[in-house]
Structure 1
């Protein structure tokens, strides 16, 4: 399971998705912080060098820096990333996994699938 001192970052431009995922994680004792865009998340990383979430749940399609762009910037930081999307496109899925995503989930997903993906990402066992 995820260490209670660890934080999961949820990055999605849909506020209701952020709230729902944060509530689900909280129900399992997992702390989460939400960001409404890839740019907001990247700015937080740049502003606070010590900030390193245990995992990032990242929407694919967002205004500004999209999920794939953010994923590519996170690769050097070795932060596990779970990509989420409502529009499952095989080329995007392949690009995300090739860029190092730990998992790729299509919305809507069940809480069990989310928890399994987070646990596997945080513990270093990629799933897809």
Structure 2
């Protein structure tokens, strides 16, 4: 009997980052849907009630809605958010974490750090 892979929503405006992280998540046994903007992700999230990823990996700075604005719109959904950013500003980090972000990672980050953060929020580190 095959197990369903947890679905991760990956939101980043950089296509190469989306491709690389999707491959990384796949190599760790995780499935990912990718979105180039927060608006694109929220359109799917808000229009399809059954679409509920297990976790969201979210860039901070993107065209349209930024990551913090997407996080605000998700408030109360119970879906863990892991931020990734190339622009690590202390005030933004503090705001994201205060609003409930599970992790805040600066690009470039070590692959294992991201996988560990995702596995932690999905409670996959407990083992079989």
Whether these two folds match at TM > 0.5 is yes
TM-score (norm 2): 0.92
- 2:74 maps to 1:100: no
CA contact (8 A) 2:7 2:55 kept: yes
Shift of 1:42: 0.2
What residue is the counterpart of 2:82 in the other structure? Answer: 82
TM-score (norm 1): 0.92
CA contact (8 A) 1:7 1:54 kept: yes
Displaced runs of 4 or more, over 6 A = none
Q: CA separation in 2, counterparts of 1:87 and 1:5? A: 31
What residue is the counterpart of 1:38 in the other structure? Answer: 38
Superposed CA deviations along residues 91-119 of structure 1, whole A, max 9, x for unmatched, are 00000000110000000011110111101
CA contact (8 A) 1:12 1:59 kept: yes
Q: Residue 40 and residue 98 in structure 1: after superposition, are their counterparts in 2 closer, same or farther (change >3 A)?
A: same
Shift of 1:124: 9.4
Shift of 1:4: 3.9
Equivalenced residue count is 123
SS in 1 for 2:61: coil
Name structure 2 gaps, 5 residues minimum. Answer: none
Larger Rg: 2
